[in-house]
């Protein structure tokens, strides 16, 4: 049994599928002699097409953003032309009879081993560039892998160092029952994907790729954060029972999609969904959400090979809006930086502390043309055409720190509106919102509320900034606890101020979908929650078992505890009394 970080609740059992940087078909044996020439030609073709892509990207980014941002693609082209790199890959294909994909996987492992021993930060940064190049090559080497279900057949447990957005796309709708990663945290890409799909997941399991091979039987306990490889019959039988209970409860709760979201004493609450794209919006409707409280547009950029233009963005936004419950969507502008980067924005800009540096709207301000394109697309997506059912689109800006930034953002929105009017392009009115993630903004909430229409609390970043602890650093991750007195006090103040000013406030961080935290938030006066679609049935069920008075009582009891561990323990005990039927999906 290996211990990690529980990031998505539930218990599941399946066959391991190990992702070693690139997808390699585990059923593919070594090449025969007569296949070598064809495989070399296949690799050369993938390389040629990748270089063509990169040159086109370089030109497009140079025009839309600037020459410095486009310089990263010169680095990628240089990697693809590196004679030492090419000789290694061709030797592995021609002499060792490895497939091109297997050779790329070996290349990544080779350089990872060299760079792990290096103290040169520049060289370590080049590893990220190599991975980008390898993924681009892989997309041409195995385009059919996205479609072939035989590669992942039956209940599958995906095991990876970390799950990148591009790898998520490659998984598609494969029968993935669980995710385990060596790196990551409760707010990593893998965690977000797992929760949006409602599948158990554990992150931060050091060395799991070395101890597991594709084909092994793996148990994933996303409640306790446990991973068991090749369990004995007795252990397997016990977890089979827990797995049946988990799936039975999940199916049972899915039936409440058409029920109103109300507490036991009849207080109405609003349960919205966090989505990354069209599939999540469809899931939100299926799970009974009343709308989309957070549309993370950065996933459009993270999974896109190029810079998406205005028309392309408009089409994608309209598809998400049309699929969303009540066509209500809060679209967050690009939130890149920190743990999320794209090659054409900031990869060449090295920072000691990216989470508190050049990211989110700070990055957007530096590329006004690029930023305007997205704002124009959002404004146009809010337009109501003749005979078209009404849309309700809100625009949300991440990482707002002060009033000056809000005023600057409003000026950019006005400029986009003026441009569209001058071009006779119709657009709609949108509510203007800020994401509350920075403690400075929480302290000056009364000033900020005079300049915005609504507030969305991003608890993931707010917690790490409050605690001065990087949520992705395992050495300090124990400090990033949403159920802590500091977090409760700050949220209490923010919610009270928003209610006083009669400005809608939603919590759209991971706290909203955590049963223990949901009860605290309810007691603090919050009535709008946005979460991964898969959590909506659970929270709706929990709400029906608790009164607002009881939630307020638990808030006061929590304030008397001396540590986050005690608060968590208190809430676990109380939840077992309030809704014992939810035990199979409650995280410890």
> Does residue 267 contact residue 548 with C-beta atoms inside 8 Å?
yes
Band (75; pLDDT cuts 50, 70, 90) = confident
What is residue 481's predicted lDDT score, i.e. its pLDDT? 86
Q: Domains, the chain, ranges and CATH?
A: 2-23+147-250 (3.50.30.10), 33-141 (1.10.274.10), 264-580 (3.20.20.60)
Q: Tokens 């001396």 belong to which residue?
A: 562
Q: DSSP state, 151? A: S
- φ, ψ (nearest 5 deg) of residue 219: -105, 130
Per-residue pLDDT of 446-502, as tens digits, reads: 999 999 999 999 998 899 899 988 776 767 777 888 899 999 999 999 999 999 999
Per-residue pLDDT of 80-138, as tens digits, reads: 998 888 999 999 999 999 988 888 888 887 777 666 555 555 555 567 678 778 878 88
Q: Which of 547, 539, 398, 384 is nearest to 461 (CA)?
A: 398
Q: DSSP state, 294? A: E
Q: Tokens 């609504």 belong to which residue?
A: 454
What is the layout of strands, in order, in the sheet containing 11-19?
A: 2-3, 226-229, 217-221, 11-19, 156-160, 176-181, 201-203, 5-8
What is residue 109's predicted lDDT score, i.e. its pLDDT? 77
Active site residues: 189, 508
Lowest mean pLDDT among 29-33, 111-115, 413-417, 433-437: 111-115
Query: pTM for this structure?
Result: 0.76
Spatial separation of the C-alpha atoms in residues 442 and 466, rounded to whole Å: 10
What percent of the chain has a predicted confidence (pLDDT) above 70?
82
- φ, ψ (nearest 5 deg) of residue 178: -160, 160
Average pLDDT in the 141-169 region?
64
Average pLDDT of every residue of the chain:
85
Residues in the chain: 588
Q: Which of 314, 367, 310 is nearest to 336 (CA)?
A: 367
Question: Residue 64 pLDDT > 70, yes or no?
Answer: no
């Amino acid at each position: 049994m290996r211990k990690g970080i529980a990031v998505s609740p539930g218990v599941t059992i399946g066959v391991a599928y190990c992702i070693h940087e690139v997808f390699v078909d585990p059923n593919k044996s070594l090449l025969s002699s007569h296949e070598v020439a064809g495989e070399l030609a296949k690799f050369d073709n993938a390389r040629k097409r990748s270089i063509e892509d990169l040159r086109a990207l370089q030109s497009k980014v140079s025009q839309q953003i600037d020459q410095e941002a486009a310089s990263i693609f010169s680095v990628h082209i240089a990697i693809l032309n590196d004679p030492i790199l090419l000789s290694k890959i061709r030797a592995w294909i021609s002499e060792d009879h490895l497939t091109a994909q297997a050779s790329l996987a070996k290349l990544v492992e080779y350089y990872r081993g060299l760079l792990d021993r290096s103290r040169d930060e520049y060289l370590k940064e080049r590893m990220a560039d190599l991975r980008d190049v390898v993924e681009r090559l892989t997309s041409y080497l195995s385009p059919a892998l996205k479609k072939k279900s035989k590669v992942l057949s039956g209940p599958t447990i995906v095991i990876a160092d970390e799950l990148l957005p591009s790898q998520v796309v490659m998984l598609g709708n494969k029968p993935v029952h669980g995710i385990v990663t060596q790196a990551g945290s409760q707010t990593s890409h893998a965690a977000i994907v797992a929760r949006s799909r409602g599948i158990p997941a554990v992150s931060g399991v050091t060395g799991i790729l070395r101890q597991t091979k594709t084909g092994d039987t793996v148990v994933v306990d996303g409640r306790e954060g446990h991973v068991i490889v090749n369990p004995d019959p007795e252990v397997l039988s016990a977890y089979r029972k827990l797995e049946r209970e988990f799936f039975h409860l999940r199916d049972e709760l899915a039936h409440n999609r058409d029920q109103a979201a109300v507490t036991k004493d009849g207080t109405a609450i609003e349960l919205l969904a966090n989505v990354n794209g069209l599939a999540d919006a469809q899931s939100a409707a299926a799970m009974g959400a009343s709308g989309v409280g957070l549309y993370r547009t950065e996933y459009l950029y993270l999974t896109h090979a190029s810079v998406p233009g205005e028309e392309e963005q408009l089409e994608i936004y309209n598809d998400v809006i049309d699929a969303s419950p009540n066509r209500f969507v809060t679209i967050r502008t690009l939130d890149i930086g920190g743990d999320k980067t794209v090659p054409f924005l900031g990869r060449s800009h090295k920072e000691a502390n990216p989470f508190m540096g050049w990211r989110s709207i700070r990055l957007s301000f530096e590329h006004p043309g690029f930023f305007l394109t997205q704002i124009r697309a959002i404004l146009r997506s809010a337009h109501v055409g003749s005979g078209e059912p009404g849309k309700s689109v809100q625009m949300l800006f991440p990482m707002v720190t002060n009033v000056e930034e809000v005023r600057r953002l409003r000026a950019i929105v006005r400029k986009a509106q003026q441009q569209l009017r001058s071009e006779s392009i119709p657009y709609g009115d949108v509510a203007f919102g800020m994401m509350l993630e920075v403690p400075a903004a929480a302290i000056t909430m009364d000033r900020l509320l005079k300049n915005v229409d609504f507030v969305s609390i991003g608890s993931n970043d707010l917690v790490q900034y409050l605690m001065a602890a990087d949520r992705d650093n395992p050495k300090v991750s124990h400090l990033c606890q949403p159920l802590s007195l500091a977090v409760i006090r700050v949220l209490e103040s923010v919610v009270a101020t928003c209610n006083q000013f009669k400005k809608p406030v939603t919590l759209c961080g991971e706290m909203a979908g955590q049963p223990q935290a949901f009860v605290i938030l309810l007691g603090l006066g919050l009535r709008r929650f946005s979460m991964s679609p898969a959590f909506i049935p659970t929270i709706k069920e929990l709400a029906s078992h608790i009164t607002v008075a009881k939630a307020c009582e638990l808030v006061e009891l929590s304030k008397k505890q001396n540590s986050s561990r005690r608060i968590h323990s208190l809430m676990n005990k109380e939840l077992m009394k309030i809704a014992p039927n939810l035990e199979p999906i409650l995280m410890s």
